[in-house]
Structure 1
Amino acid sequence: MVSALTYQAEHADTLTDRISGIRESIADSGFGDVAAEPVFQTIVAITGEDDVQGARWTALADRVGNTLDGIVGQAEVALHRAVRFLRYEAGVPVAWLVPYPQQLTLLALFFHHRPDPDGAQGRALVRWFWNISWSTAFVGGNAFQLRRALHHIRAYATGRAPLRLPGQQPQPLPERFDTEDGRVRAFLLWELNHFGQRYGLDGEPIDLVDLLARSGPAAYRRIVTGTRDAASIANRIVLPTPPGTPVRDALLNLPLKLLRPLTVSHGIPPAALAQLLADHREDFIRERTAALDSLEQQFIQQIGGEANTWNTSQEDGS
């Protein structure tokens, strides 16, 4: 609708074309494909609108007028800054692992107003990102939460308020592996960063980023089958195997001198490995679930999962 309302015959590209171009440039950066919606919402937010989901399109088109090209250009720059932050500060290697698409819009709005944040602001933004990822703030595309978050992020970026996300608490580790679930993606991000170097069946390091970029969620393979808990989030591993070879079979065919360091690198503790070797499949999943849940909870507490306000002046001790 906005693309049609803002179309100008003297320009070859419509707003839809420009959004597609931004998405392609982000994909070319190595981050992968992002949806059109957060790109469009970033453009709307940069106009000063907080209600990016329910804005009146005719009023928005009238507001941007002949300035649309400049606004889209600013949005593209801000989105690339947000992507760099996600990749190199927040530890998000590929786009499909961003827990909620709204986070990209919020970060882009921040970097539009604050292109070069200082170290304290960057650290606060990392904590804010993780706390949103663990929460239910944007489950179901909550329009009210997004409006409030846009207002807060703009106020923080312009120095008018501390960074806030009121009333949100970390949610427990999901039981099922479902990459459509933002909380599951948050867990996968933590797990990727916590167990950084993974080893393959040949004992050589796995290029995780390349594998995740090429295979997407399919990179996560089931370790065991034939149990009621097979859908558990703790029953997944990023481990390529020969065609037609189940993960469990590939692991059990390894000599112990390779198996032990490999499984440790993938977050399978010795107690869980012992259950796997004994073919106690439910016990294996239970042991690994408990270990991963404990480690993630430590990270949540470390990064401030109980907090809902971060004031960078307090962080600096001033």
Structure 2
Amino acid sequence: MPAYQVEQENAEVLQDIFDRMNNYGKRLSKAEIFSALFAGDESEQDRTLTIDVIAAHVDEQFGFGRIDSDTVLRAILARRGPNPEREIRTEFDDENRREVIEFPGEDRDTAFQAGEEAPGRAVRFLQKDAGVPHFSLLAYRYLLIVLTRVFAHFPDPDPVNRKLLRRWYWRAALFGPEIFKGSSTGASRALCAKVQPNDLTGSVQNLLGALNRPEPQLPELRRFRTNEAAAKITLCSWWSLEPRDPSTGKPSEQIELAECLTGRPTAADAVRYLVPTRQMDEKYRLWAANRVLLPAMEQEAGKDIGAAIVNPPLTMDEKEWLEVLDSHLITPAMAALLRDGHLKNWSLIYRDPRTPALSPAYDLVCTRAYMGKGETLGMKFAGSRRFDAVTIRTFERLERRLHAAGAGLGDIVTDLVGRVRSAWPACADLLSTAPEVRESVAASIERRSRTLLSRPGSG
């Protein structure tokens, strides 16, 4: 690896050489250059704040996740002046610096100390007021830079302005940086310039005024990618519902989210599926509707948790279970559909590892009284959804197509019809208070019994 050794008493010369060398080969990040140019006293390295140390301290204190170095640097710069994209080589050179600085005479260590406090206050605001629990759920990083500047100059905003700042954050998150020239860089520069020292109300109004445009579009829920702002906004809305662990009913905690996402670039590890994606039609696989936010479970069930969501533990009462469902935006009716997971009420049962048999019919409800004459089968059977197209011969043909000679499907149909007709009078007595339903069901049983037992084309 090529290396240069330069001895020079003038630190500015060394800084200039370093900066010029970075124009060749793989470029360093702005934070890496800044850290090298202003490394601090080597003899005090163990006690000197650095960009990486600031990021680590914020994460340790708030469980917000590790903020990237470039965002931390721009937050430090935004605190000291309205342009966080300014030239950094003269940052602490009051004589040669051209940009406006609001803390002249401040040395590197003082700037870093204050640069740790302001982002911390901004993070606390995001978590407590705005409902953004983790860095991976922050819609855009430049929004943290702007908030750092606000909280650097106004450490404790009054309740009204805090509420307005929360409104500003969510409107800015929905609009995105595209409404500013230069996208994220331009947005950061334009919005930081709206924050004026010694005028909190004016600054907040300036920020809101920068977004004085037609209403922004809501997130697209048919494209859920955890590295995109729309999904991050959606996840924050789910977190506000205090998503509960279906195995215990307990709400998820901030520390669980932080531990789940440690070292992760996105919140993907905290997102689970109701239905395995491999079972979904491809056009639905990115939909938010099949996802829940659940960073941890006491009885871990993996990524696919549909069964755990819709089948409460025996120790959980109905009220707790409904709270679990509600915390994931699932209604009892939706849970019932997930639990069934089918459109048909016939299935096979294996009483041993090799031999299939028809399972007992289950979840049968006569809907004739509610659906009317337009009622049809949920799925095609023998090429038709019409009830009157299904006869005993339909089952006999099915037996032949399945090469299941001797299964006696026709005999099973005949036996089933007889059992239903024998059992109906006792059930009919239970519907004495709903005579219209009783008569409709009775007529349906009579009509479909004749259809099932008929042999079209015979005799």
TM-score range, shorter chain: 0.7 to 0.9
Residue 272 of structure 1 aligns with which residue?
334
**Structure 1 unmatched ranges of 5 or more:** 282-318
Residue 303 of structure 1 aligns with which residue?
none
Distance in 2, Cα, partners of 1:159 & 1:249? 51
For residues 268-298 of structure 1, the C-alpha deviation after alignment (integer angstroms, 9 at most, x for no partner) is: 12343343234269xxxxxxxxxxxxxxxxx
1:247 matches 2:305: yes
Distance in 2, Cα, partners of 1:2 & 1:168? 39
64, 79, 91: which one aligns with 1:46: 79
**CA displacement at 1:33 relative to structure 2:** 1.6
Matches of residues 59-208 of structure 1 in structure 2 within 5 Å? Answer: 59-62=90-93, 63=97, 67-137=107-177, 142-154=184-196, 157-161=199-203, 162=205, 163-164=207-208, 165-166=210-211, 167=213, 169-174=215-220, 175-193=222-240, 195-196=241-242, 198-202=244-248, 204-208=249-253
Distance in 2, Cα, partners of 1:245 & 1:23? 30
Q: With the length of structure 1 as denominator, give the TM-score of the two structures.
A: 0.75
Distance in 2, Cα, partners of 1:3 & 1:116? 30
**Structure 2 unmatched ranges of 5 or more:** 1-32, 98-103, 262-266, 344-459
Is the CA contact (8 Å cut-off) linking 2:118 and 2:148 kept in structure 1? Answer: yes
Residue 305 of structure 1 aligns with which residue?
none
**CA displacement at 1:67 relative to structure 2:** 1.6
Q: Give the secondary-structure state (helix, strand or coil) at the position aligned to 1:121.
A: helix
**CA displacement at 1:138 relative to structure 2:** 6.3
Q: Which has the higher helix share?
A: 1
Q: With the length of structure 2 as denominator, give the TM-score of the two structures.
A: 0.54
Quickly say closer, same or farther: Cα 1:95–1:245, change in 2 above 3 A.
closer
Quickly say closer, same or farther: Cα 1:27–1:254, change in 2 above 3 A.
same
39, 58, 64: which one aligns with 1:31: 64
Q: Give the secondary-structure state (helix, strand or coil) at the position aligned to 1:153.
A: coil
**CA displacement at 1:185 relative to structure 2:** 0.9
**CA displacement at 1:25 relative to structure 2:** 1.0
Is the CA contact (8 Å cut-off) linking 1:173 and 1:184 kept in structure 2? Answer: yes
Distance in 1, Cα, partners of 2:307 & 2:40? 61
Q: Give the secondary-structure state (helix, strand or coil) at the position aligned to 2:234.
A: helix
For residues 179-199 of structure 1, the C-alpha deviation after alignment (integer angstroms, 9 at most, x for no partner) is: 111221111112211x22524
AA aligned opposite 1:227: M
Distance in 1, Cα, partners of 2:75 & 2:232? 22
Is the CA contact (8 Å cut-off) linking 1:200 and 1:206 kept in structure 2? Answer: no
Residue 255 of structure 2 aligns with which residue?
210
Distance in 2, Cα, partners of 1:12 & 1:119? 41
**CA displacement at 1:252 relative to structure 2:** 4.5
AA aligned opposite 2:34: V
Relative contact order (C-alpha < 8 Å, sep 6+): which is higher? 1
Q: Give the secondary-structure state (helix, strand or coil) at the position aligned to 1:31.
A: coil
Distance in 2, Cα, partners of 1:73 & 1:245? 42
Quickly say closer, same or farther: Cα 1:119–1:17, change in 2 above 3 A.
closer
**How many pairs are equivalent?**
277
Q: Give the secondary-structure state (helix, strand or coil) at the position aligned to 1:221.
A: strand
Residue 446 of structure 2 aligns with which residue?
none
Q: Give the secondary-structure state (helix, strand or coil) at the position aligned to 2:193.
A: helix
Quickly say closer, same or farther: Cα 1:245–1:33, change in 2 above 3 A.
closer
Quickly say closer, same or farther: Cα 1:169–1:181, change in 2 above 3 A.
farther
Larger radius of gyration: 2
**CA displacement at 1:59 relative to structure 2:** 3.4
Q: Give the secondary-structure state (helix, strand or coil) at the position aligned to 2:224.
A: coil
Percent of paired sites with the same residue: 27
Distance in 2, Cα, partners of 1:102 & 1:23? 16
For residues 194-228 of structure 1, the C-alpha deviation after alignment (integer angstroms, 9 at most, x for no partner) is: x22524223x3133323311223212101112112
Indicate the RMSD between aligned Cα atoms, in angstroms: 3.1
Q: Give the secondary-structure state (helix, strand or coil) at the position aligned to 2:125.
A: helix
AA aligned opposite 1:176: R
Is the CA contact (8 Å cut-off) linking 2:74 and 2:145 kept in structure 1? Answer: yes
Distance in 1, Cα, partners of 2:87 & 2:218? 38
For residues 146-195 of structure 1, the C-alpha deviation after alignment (integer angstroms, 9 at most, x for no partner) is: 211111134695554523233374333222221111221111112211x2
For residues 88-135 of structure 1, the C-alpha deviation after alignment (integer angstroms, 9 at most, x for no partner) is: 111222222221111211111001111121111111111111111222
